[in-house]
Chain A
């Protein structure tokens, strides 16, 4: 089975541009997590979906960030407008048992905002 698939793997953009990150869950998983990782702040949860419904979005930094799950297997994280401080690795992870079990991470999307 394919694991969690993220795209793009790398993105370099200029401040003010819109960035869209994509994630495909593992088939059969019903929970999806978006994380951001930086050297300074470590791994931060941005948003958590269960059965396509956002359960916890308290980690979303501000209105510039939005996440959607248009169907059970796919999610997008959008940043508009992007800022240099958004530069980080964004991980998507899925789980079959919510927040109590093993998370399977994608390889991450490395974002650089100039």
Chain B
């Protein structure tokens, strides 16, 4: 079992819809959690950190479920510009990257 697992997608979603995807991790001692966004042929960039209480940044909401060992990302009112690959990152003294979930927003 991989340490960090994501559904590779692609998720094909109409513009304006709400989309959510999860990332599961195997090490219960993991300490920090992040979502990165990577556009096609570009470098990954931090989208948001994930806090225990959950956090929101505009249309984006990130949540952590320690009991079930997953983090989630919810995107509301999706835009064409949200099309990208979303990578989750989990740390336990080292960064462990998921393989990414590809999101395609269609007009």
Task: Determine if B46 is an interface residue (Cβ-Cβ < 8 Å).
Answer: yes
Q: Is the CB of B97 within 8 A of A43?
A: yes
Q: What is the distance, in angstroms, from A43's C-beta to the closest C-beta of chain B?
A: 5
Is there an interface contact between A102 and B34, defined as CB atoms closer than 8 Å? Answer: yes
Within 8 A of A (CB), among B81-102: 87, 91, 93-95, 97, 99-100
Distance, CA A102 to CA B72, complexed state (A) = 18
Q: Give the bracket for the number of chain A residues in contact with chain B.
A: 10 to 19
By the criterion CB–CB under 8 Å, are A45 and B95 in contact? yes
Known contacts A42-B97, A42-B100, A43-B97: A100-B91 contact under CB 8 Å: yes
Which of chain A's residues has its CB closest to B99's CB? A42
Q: Does B31 contact A (CB under 8 A)?
A: yes
B100 touches A105 (CB 8 A): no
A56 within 8 Å of B (CB atoms): yes
Q: Could you jot down 10 A-B contacts, CB within 8 Å?
A: A42-B100, A43-B100, A48-B94, A56-B94, A91-B44, A99-B91, A99-B95, A103-B46, A107-B43, A108-B43
Number of residue pairs A-B, CB distance < 8 angstroms? 37
Contact of A91 among B43, B46, B49, B91 (CB under 8 A): B43
Within 8 A of B (CB), among A73-113: 91, 99-100, 102-103, 105-108
Q: Which B residues lie within 8 Å of A48 (CB)? A: 94
Given A42-B100, A100-B31, A100-B32, decide whether A105 and B43 contact each other with a Cβ distance below 8 A. Answer: yes
Is the CB–CB distance between A99 and B94 below 8 Å? yes
In the bound assembly, the distance between CA atoms of A48 and B49 in angstroms comes to 21
Q: How far is the CA of A31 from the CA of B93 in the complex (A)?
A: 14
> CA of A85 to CA of B32 in the docked complex: distance in angstroms?
33
- Chain A residues with Cβ under 8 A from B97's Cβ? 42-43, 45
Residues of A within 8 A of B46 (CB): 102-103
* Shortest CB distance B79–A (Å): 23
